[in-house]
Amino acid sequence: MVLTATLSQAQRIFVVIAKVLVSVFILNNAHASAKTASQLSYKDGFIHTSEHSDCVDCHSSEVMRWHQSDHYQSMALPSSETVIGNFNSKAQHHDHEAYFWTDDGGYIISFIENGKRSTYSVDYVFGYWPLQQYLTLTGGGHYQVIPFAWDDRAENDGGQRWFHMYPNESIEPDNRLHWLMPLQNWNGMCADCHSDRLVRNYDIDSNRFDSRWENINVGCLSCHGDMTAQNQERISHVLQQQNAGYWRFSEGDTTAHWEGEKRDNSAIENCYFCHSLRAPLTDGFEANQGFLNTFQPMLLQSPQYYPNGHIRDEVYVWGSFQQSKMFEAGVNCLDCHDSHSYEIKLPGDGVCLQCHSYDAYGTEKHHHHDAQSDGSKCVDCHMPNSTFMVVDDRRDHSFSVPRPNNSLHFGTPNACTKCHQDKTDEWAAEWSSKWYGKQIQSPSEINFMRLQSGEDIGLKAALLMITDEQLPPIKRASALRLTPHVVAERLNSTQLQPLVASNEPLIRIAAAEASKTIEPLLRSVLVQDLLSDELKAVRVVAADALIDVPVSEAYLVSFNQAFKELVYANQLSAWRGEGWLNQGLLHTRKGELIEAEQSYLSAIEVDPYFPVSYINLTDIYRATLQPSKAQKLYERAITYLPQDSTIRYSFGLHLIRQGQPEKAAEQFELSVKYQLDSEQYIFTWVLTLNALGQLNRGLQVLQLHQQRIPLSPRLVQLGMRMAQQAGNLEAHQWLLK
């Protein structure tokens, strides 16, 4: 029996979110012979190995530029040269206090939390600008990120201070975001992108890490890999090929085009390893092994992206760059960024004017702003920044045109009102129309935003968009992945067949995911060939789609291999709840309910403040007719997560099934209290009050909540029926309005 088929709508949504979360937070691993820190020598700000030193000896110019990079200062041992925070000071965050001092050359941080003092030593420094963070070993090989960071910006910019990473929240020990919880764990969340060839080495049986690296910071190995003759030959070929072409303007062009052989941009996938939001498929990554053989990237989805594809959450660069006209034209990272310092190659608009003519794009007739103002700068209009980690500004890399009209219809941000904060989107749209005329967008672009906003656009419109090759592949794939969740009409195997066979790997991935709504036998025939796809990211999604359907004998070997890769990917994330949760879902779909129960219990053990594990396990107990176990688990969940609305709602449904509607109503009331905008929770609470004969109480609830959110048609219909039964004319009148 498939667990997800028995879940309520809210629970199903939560499971989808949980599977996404693995991609949202995880920054991953590495492969190769690794050494512990104690086996390496530290000199000149980085760890030396023979392989690394060989590079340094012959490439002094590159090394000098690398020394200017964020990569060079990504991680270090604490010393007077590397620690920039003031360790003779204190900081306050709500009722939490932190004290910083040095002792015999070591760096010490002491917390007073809920009246209890705890003291930790700094084992590593992490980054340097615009903030520096600090790591401490807490046991079992787990390094945790201290919740206070040092703001290294200038004092007149608000810097030179300690600040808490969640400045607007009081993060208590029972919060999943507390610094001692898995989501603040260095080994799993951050490590592989701050050191060369890092491997987590997580042991799922003991919940211990034995993480190791080749170099403590990000150096030659992360981008160049090994220097074997075979790899050197490959690199030489790529360089020769890139030197065989160049960007040039033809007569009359306003934008340069690539002249020469088609560019081989495969080496840029090394950048994607860390500049993307993705889940690991391997424990560690090796340069030049291929992005989609190493990671499963997150596609464009809410809440990480706005409906138009602009970044909203901390998603890094890959997802926005894949949407851009630059990417489509063959531009790569090194056209704009220096290959070793990673700084922009030219100041100001110079880097843009390499390929975009000044006469067309650099004058006031294009940007309509004073030449000295921010509005005249290319990046402020086409790469607006967002602030993450409190002080870190990062730019959107989709290089899109500002469209205030989209803000009016879809709530998307636009560069105009980001700068002119005292103005409205209507004002910006009016001026945009005056300057540039009516902005025409393709039906596919409009439908993409409608779908991403949760609108059922109909299957015909969805398929026209998904197959529109004028739309970037990442948008087409994202739309395909979302369609079964938003569009009521079901996709069929005939419609999915060409998408499964697409040349675009992201579309193959999305097609395999979308196939889960297809009848099992047809799904098996449709997806089986993807089990032997050249890319691991495709294979694991295909295996996931076929877990609960019969696979023909000819494909069993490839299925078993792909399934092992899928299980291994889950195990890589088992240091946090999502890894065990996804493993539990696999077991459930295979009908292995005992194994599923153990997976969910393991998820609760390593990550007790992750609510989805409790909900899925109680559903196992419901399916196997064990209500007493479910009751005890709900009570346990509430001790850990007393204010979690989903657990309260799920507990209420359990009590309804047990014939206890009065107690259920109490839980539904609490679910609404902790999530005021949930129409589903309000409806279920009022429906229960109606069943209990508490008609006027139910009407009072509706009247209270209609002041916060518009009442849905079914809430109005329920209220009208209750008002009629109660003879409450006043309620009947305001419901009519």
166-222 residue pLDDT tens: 999 999 999 999 999 999 999 999 999 999 999 999 999 999 999 999 999 999 999
pTM: 0.90
Instruction: Quote the CA–CA distance of 182 and 70 in Å, as a whole number.
Output: 26
| Strand partners for 35 | 213
Q: Which of 595, 635, 606, 605 is nearest to 618 (CA)?
A: 635
Q: Kindly list the distances between the CA atom of residue 595 and the CA atoms of 202, 208, 224, 473, 673, in Å, as whole numbers in the listed order.
A: 21, 22, 42, 38, 35
The confidence score (pLDDT) of residue 47 equals: 41
The SS3 assignment for 535 reads coil
Q: In terms of Cα–Cα distance, which of 679, 637, 630, 701 is closest to 10?
A: 679
Q: Can you spell out the DSSP letters for 586-649?
A: HHHHTT-HHHHHHHHHHHHHH-TT-HHHHHHHHHHHHHTT-HHHHHHHHHHHHHH-TT-HHHHH
- CATH class for the region spanning 643-648+660-737: mainly alpha
* Ranges of the chain whose pLDDT falls below 70: 1-54, 227-243
CB atoms within 10 A of CB 300: 28
What pLDDT score does 229 carry?
57
Distance in angstroms (rounded) separating the CA atoms of residues 732 and 734: 6
Distance (Å, whole) CA 513 – CA 510 = 5
* pLDDT score at 6: 31
Number of C-beta neighbours around residue 262 at 10 A: 10
Whether cis (ω within 30° of 0) applies to the bond prior to 384 is: no
Coil/strand/helix, residue 411: coil
Give the model confidence (pLDDT) of 69-108 as tens digits.
999 999 999 999 999 999 999 999 998 999 999 999 999 9
Strand ranges (E), 377-470:
385-388, 392-395
pLDDT, residue 143, reads 98
Report residue 305 as tokens.
Answer: 């992206």
Q: Can you name the residues that pair with 149 across neighbouring β-strands?
A: 163
Q: How far apart are CA 597 and CA 599, in angstroms?
A: 5
Beta-carbon contacts of residue 251 (< 8 Å; ≥ 6 apart) = none
The amino acid at residue 217 is: N
Burial of 590 per CB tally in 10 Å (0-12, 13-18, 19+): middle
Residues 6+ apart with CB under 8 A from 70: 127, 128, 129, 342
Cα–Cα distance, 649 to 77 (Å, whole number): 47
Domain map (residue ranges) of the chain: 37-221, 225-236+255-401, 643-648+660-737
Type of residue numbered 510: A
Predicted pLDDT at 243: 64
- Helix 473-486 / helix 443-452 crossing angle, nearest 10 deg: 50
- Give the pLDDT of residue 284: 95
Q: What is the pLDDT of residue 409?
A: 95
Q: How far apart are the first and last CA of the chain?
A: 46
pLDDT at 40: 33
